[in-house]
Amino acid sequence: MTQTSESVTWLTQEAYDQLKAELEYLSGPARVEIAKKIEAAREEGDLRENGGYHAAKEEQGKQELRVRQLTQLLENAKVGEAPADDGVAEPGMVITVAFDGDETDTLTFLMASREYASGDIETYSPQSPLGAGVNGKRVGEEAEYELPNGRMTMVKIIEAKPYTG
């Protein structure tokens, strides 16, 4: 089965290792911890009115969802180096765009999967409207994308540098 580039997530070795460690923790020790919480809450009696039990079950559901997300992400991940510093807007690049040709109205963001998202820099997925619009464009080129209200807008690629995060 061939994968489309849409389903592949490019990760640095460091990011891959970090996500793999999170998956191993959630699949092992964290599962044991949540099972103990559920069992302790179950021993408190009537499950219909047991807030601790319901909270633990909800936490377990969220944890299992994250396990499935990480498993799928890591199965489809390609580990490699950061993209070349060639001025092309692509995943792994920090991109600065100017809105409507106004170089004082700019946005700088990392184009990457949400797994890279941090408080340090705004992150846009390559599948997001802005990410898809600028993906593959070179510095100096313009890109069009759809706003949430359905209107189209233009941005100009001002800079595209590899993320060194």
Q: Identify the helix (H) or strand (E) that includes residue 24.
A: helix 13-27
Dump pLDDT digits (tens) for 9-58. 667 777 788 889 999 999 999 999 999 999 988 888 777 788 888 899 99
pLDDT band with cut points at 50, 70 and 90 for residue 76: confident
Q: What is the residue whose two structure tokens read 């995943």?
A: 91
pLDDT band with cut points at 50, 70 and 90 for residue 4: very low
Rounded Cα–Cα distance for residues 36 and 133 (Å): 48
Query: What pTM did the predictor assign?
Result: 0.58
Rounded Cα–Cα distance for residues 62 and 32 (Å): 15
User: 86 pLDDT exceeds 90?
Assistant: no
Is residue 57 a contact partner of residue 126, using CB atoms and an 8 Å limit? no
Is residue 126 a contact partner of residue 109, using CB atoms and an 8 Å limit? no
User: 102 pLDDT exceeds 50?
Assistant: yes
Dump pLDDT digits (tens) for 112-133. 876 666 667 788 888 899 999 9
Counting residues of the chain whose pLDDT is more than 90, the rounded percentage is 44
> CB neighbours of 65 closer than 8 A, spacing ≥ 6?
none
Domains and CATH numbers, the chain: 9-79 (1.10.287.180), 93-162 (3.10.50.30)
Stronger pLDDT, 83 or 64, i.e. the higher one: 64
